[in-house]
Amino acid sequence: MPRKKKPINHSDLPDYEIEKIARCILPDILALFESEEGQKEFAEWKARQEQKGDIDAQ
């Protein structure tokens, strides 16, 4: 079984504090991306990024 890479924390916050924050905001982030409005905003952002050439078109 491959080992899970540990993210590098370059902040002054301890890992457990970052994880606490992430656990608090994750449900809101998921709800946004699952909503119709969130999907529309993401599609607009992705189109702007592709125009800039920052990400490859899939």
Read off the pLDDT of residues 24-57 as tens digits, 9 standing for 90 and up: 999 999 999 999 999 999 999 999 999 988 665 4
What is the residue-wise DSSP string for 28-57? HHHHHHHSHHHHHHHHHHHHHHHHHTSS--
In whole angstroms, give the CA distance from residue 17 to residue 13: 6
Specify the pTM.
Answer: 0.56
